[in-house]
Structure 1
């Protein structure tokens, strides 16, 4: 399998994790076991599942983990929106993060289609 660090979607999602951790540390402390925990876990899930999928034995398994990662990107999108609506993050920050997430979602779509095609050829 390919080294997960070579995937641009992993690189972009790793950067997103670093951004999210910087943003979520400014959330109210009473959200530590609620929204902070949820948003940090969802962000981590994106690149983590790419890495795990790369460690699997088949493209079919990799494909499955890409879908999990993609689902986490959709989850992140909502968590950013609710964080903005709760006024935990400002509009500029939320727009920047949502733009990054949108790009990641598009990258997943393309990569999932590519892997799906490779599976069909095999």
Structure 2
């Protein structure tokens, strides 16, 4: 087994930070959202870094590597959709939403860079 260098990837680090922050944020959501919005946004945000870890294992197969990056990107967009829903429900202020959306957009840019430069990973 090779060294798990994916942990040093900026996209992995940033997606983990965002996921942990979302976990803390959603702890304040109403209890009736526990099995719907809270579960969904936590799962999608955590899935970004999990897909990046899987992409590391598949980097020797370019199409598989790209597929896992695409999955990570899709989960990142899903997280944004859940942030939209939480804002619509009034679970946080627009300023909070803007910070989380900006962090997610940063992760998205990093994923895009990885996809365009797979040889660096």
The TM-score normalised by the length of structure 2 is 0.90
Structure 1: distance between partners of 2:92 and 2:53: 29
The TM-score normalised by the length of structure 1 is 0.89
For these two proteins, the number of residue pairs brought into alignment is 116
Residue 15 (structure 2) aligns with: 13
Q: Quick check: 1:65 aligned with 2:74?
A: no
Structure 2: distance between partners of 1:64 and 1:48: 13
Structure 2: distance between partners of 1:48 and 1:89: 27
**CA shift at 1:58, angstroms?**
2.3
Structure 2: distance between partners of 1:93 and 1:48: 25
Residue 74 (structure 1) aligns with: 77
Give runs of ≥4 in structure 1 deviating > 4 Å. none
**CA shift at 1:93, angstroms?**
1.1
Structure 2: distance between partners of 1:82 and 1:27: 12
| Aligned-pair Cα RMSD in Å | 1.4
In the alignment, structure 1 segments of 5+ residues that lack a partner are none
Structure 2: distance between partners of 1:100 and 1:67: 18
After TM superposition, list the pairs within 5 Å mapping 1:16-27 onto structure 2.
Answer: 16-27=18-29
In the alignment, structure 2 segments of 5+ residues that lack a partner are none
Structure 1: distance between partners of 2:92 and 2:61: 40
Structure 2: distance between partners of 1:92 and 1:12: 20
Deviations 1:81-120 (A, max 9, x none): 11011011221211100000111111111110111xx4xx
Structure 1: distance between partners of 2:113 and 2:74: 14
Structure 1: distance between partners of 2:17 and 2:94: 20
Which shows bigger deviation, 54-63 or 12-21?
A: 54-63
Give the one of 42, 45, 55 matched to 2:44: 42
